[in-house]
Amino acid sequence: MYDVGHFINGKEVDGRSNRFGEVFQPSTGQQVGRVSLASDSEVDSAVEVAKAAANRWRDASLSARVAVMERFRELLEKGADELAEIISRENGKLFLDAKGEVLRGMESVEFACGAPVHLQGAFSELIGSDIDAYSLRQSVGVVAAITPANFPAMVPLWMIPNALVCGNAVIFKPSEKDPSAGMWLANRFTDAGLPDGVLNVVNGDSEAVKALLAHPGVDAVSFVGSTPVARAIYEMASIGGKRVQALGGAKNHLMVLPDADLSLAADAAISAGYGAAGQRCMAISVVLPVGGVANELVQEIELRAKKVVVGDSMDPSAQLGPLITKQHRDRVAGYVAAAESTGAEVVVDGSDQMNRSGFFLGPCLVDKVSSGMATYRDEIFGPVLSVVRSKDYSEAIDLVNANPFGNGAALFTSSGKAARAFQRDARIGMLGINVPVPVPPAHFSFGGWKGSLFGDLHMYGPDGIKFFSRGKTVMTRW
């Protein structure tokens, strides 16, 4: 049993609140640690440390900031397996999935290393009599980075590197369900030469989040989580005059047209629906067969789903690991158990995996789902694929666009005309054409539309630089 405290002013410290959260190993169902849950006074102390450090860090040269980031990237690459094992142990994600998460996070670090280009301004000579004008970007101040349990390394790396190279100090609040990855990242930043106090980790629950949102010393808030919480954070932080980007949930559709390669589409549904146990905001949760392909496509998915190997997160033969908590596993299973009473048909029921030790649920496939059912309406966030049948493209795209979420969607087709129509018609932030999980690379930006994003700027990439810096225009006459 281990304890996880906080990381303040360049070192790990014990919590003072005498409140703790339990940390489990999802593959066994056993508690392996506990995490300190910060009080308001501990949050206040961390913000004061960050404020003092921010004043010094913003004056550091851009080359010095980038040098830290380059050293951190080297340490991240060397420690990728170690970090992946930490993630796998506390999150339940398969080791290979966890390793992939680290590598995707590393892309954002590499993008941040290009800050000298990303932060360039513009110059105009003689815009008036002996007057020149130029633009520049400067730091925001103290940034709160609040991240979810499902990607304990990648999502923080979407935020923290860009925030740091822009000259900000960061208060990082990881999920209390898997806090060790965040502490590992903080220690590696210190090893890379980041000055004390520039990055601080405050572990905690909703009390710590509320304290950060209300604190006048916090200038900006970056958040990824569920839509209800994202909306609340956006509203609370905005009222306090803070800059906010809050990414919410999703209900991502995979539309399959009659001319699609059904074998390819079925493979995509399996990997995109059951990868990471469905616990990702870009998971495919709705398969949308169009026209007469539904029966054959459902059969193809069923055959594959029944062959998925469920096992321990560190088992190299496993293809689907556990969910992160027992409570979440039981919630997800509840949707499947209730589906038939609402008129749906459970084709594959993974509840037989609930008999083993750990928080397991096997692949679930629910057919003949309608848009009014909870199975379709809610973000289930687990290994559940719902099949909604549509008679034609027009009905299918209307369904996609009527959904309150707008994170991602995919189309499988062999028609360039259909693909062009889809990319214009879909009111969704990220689209895939014969690509099931369209997560953009780090030199683009990540973010949805509608109830999947609160704020104007997307996550990481060029929008990340814009969010973590402020534009300023200067006019001079000499």
The helix (run of H) or strand (run of E) holding residue 242 is none
In sign, the C-alpha dihedral spanning 104, 201, 237, 403 is positive
Residue 7: what are its φ and ψ, rounded to 5°?
-125, 105
Separation of alpha carbons 240 and 219, rounded Å: 9
Among candidate residues 113, 166, 281, 364, the one labeled active-site is 281
φ/ψ of residue 438, rounded to 5: -85, 65
CB of 74 closer than 8 Å to CB of 128: no
Rounded to an integer, what distance in angstroms lies between the CA atom of residue 54 and that of residue 170? 9
Evaluate whether 461 touches 444 at the Cβ level (below 8 Å): yes
DSSP H or E stretch at residue 287: strand 284-289
364 is known as an active-site residue: no
Instruction: Round to whole Å and give the CA distance between 350 and 360.
Output: 9
Q: What are phi and psi of 346, to 5 degrees?
A: -85, 110
* Interacting residues of 314 by C-beta distance below 8 A, sequence separation 6+: 27, 85, 88, 89, 95
- Find out whether 79 and 38 touch, Cβ atoms under 8 Å: no
Long-range contacts formed by 21-24: CB under 8 A, 24+ apart:
21/176, 21/177, 21/205, 23/90, 23/176, 23/177, 23/178, 23/179, 23/180, 24/90, 24/177, 24/325, 24/326, 24/359
DSSP assignment of 377-409, as one string? Answer: HS---SSEEEE--BSSHHHHHHHHHHSSEESEE
- Residues designated catalytic: 281
